[in-house]
Amino acid sequence: MPQRVLVVEDEEDIAFPLVRTLEREGYDVHWVDSGQKALDDVSSRHADVVILDLGLPDMDGLEVCRKARDGGYEGAIMIVTARAGELDRVVGLDYGADDYMAKPFGLAELQARVRALLRRTNNAPAADTSHEGGLRIDVAARRVFSGDDEVPLTGKEFEVLNVLVANKDKVVSRTRLMADVWDENWYGSTKTLDVTIGRLRQKLESVGVQEKVVAVRGVGFRLEGNPSD
């Protein structure tokens, strides 16, 4: 079954070439032109990747991103927008996006980024699946639990945690995390990683997870075990 891509873009002259290009790549592509249609779609049908414009006629794309995540959507979200500043990128990632492309963009680069998102989604590295009194990760289902409580994570948050759990109590460098979770040729700011780590910490703390994501200044991050380990 082909992987499904949802394109959320209100400008036809941008949407049509994008849809045709993705269809030629073999994806099952669906196009909607408003935020509400996008939310209706992700709530009723699975999309592996959502390509999301921010300047929608009925609501800001950031709100669409936030509501999709709050509603349980766990697929990849790529924001495409004319808002190209670093702060805009950080805000978009903070709302739950996995990638961010500034308009105008090349279709070849967008295709490459979609492929990268799908590779990371489908080929997450295996990690330890449980810790007594702490985290339990179901890699196949891409779900994380603390006791009986599920921790709702975005795709990037899950991948960062999976790498840290696989290297528990060891320092994982920023360079490795960026290469494993984003792309070794990532050209954006490493603040992307800081934003994702910040969200991950908040979510783990909110459900009482004892493991802590600790920053090692100038090096990277380490997941420290709970006291009973």
- Is 40's pLDDT higher than 90? yes
Q: Is the pLDDT of residue 139 over 80?
A: no
| Range of weakest confidence among 70-84, 143-157, 186-200 | 186-200
In degrees and rounded to multiples of 5, residue 154 shows phi and psi of: -75, 170
> Domain map of the chain by residue range?
4-122, 135-224
> Is residue 187 pLDDT above 70, yes or no?
no
CATH architecture observed for domain 135-224: Orthogonal Bundle (1.10)
Answer whether residue 34 shows pLDDT above 90.
Answer: yes
Higher pLDDT, 124 or 137: 137
Q: Which residues contact 115 (CB under 8 A, 6 or more apart)?
A: none
Residue 31 has pLDDT above 90, yes or no: yes
Percent residues over pLDDT 90 in the chain:
28
List the single range of 51-55, 127-131, 147-151, 175-179 with lowest mean pLDDT.
127-131
Question: Is the model's pLDDT at 45 over the cut of 60?
Answer: yes
Q: Can you tell me the mean pLDDT for 116-140?
A: 61
Q: Does 181 have pLDDT greater than 90?
A: no
How far is CA 151 from each of CA 133, 136, 138, 142, 189, rounded to the nearest angstrom? 15, 10, 11, 11, 27
Q: Is the pLDDT of residue 24 over 80?
A: yes
Q: What's the whole-number mean pLDDT along residues 150-169?
A: 86
Report which residue type is found at 220.
G
Burial per residue of 84-102, b for 16 or more beta-carbon CB atoms within 10 angstroms, e otherwise: eeeebbbbbbbbbbbbbbe
Q: What is the pLDDT of residue 193?
A: 85
pLDDT of the residue at 62: 92
pLDDT band for position 183 (cuts 50, 70, 90): low
pTM, entire model: 0.60
How does residue 218 score in pLDDT terms, banded at 50, 70 and 90?
confident
In the predicted structure, residue 128 carries a pLDDT above the cut 80 = no
Whole-number Å distance between alpha carbons of 196 and 75: 16
Looking at residue 88, what is its pLDDT?
75
Region 53-58: what's the mean pLDDT? 92
Mean pLDDT of the chain: 83
Structure-token pair, residue 20:
């045709």
Instruction: Look at residues 60, 32, 61, 58 and name the one whose alpha carbon lies nearest to residue 45.
Output: 32
CA terminus-to-terminus distance, the chain: 43
Pick the CATH number of 4-122 from 3.40.1190.20, 3.40.50.2000, 3.40.228.10, 3.40.50.2300: 3.40.50.2300
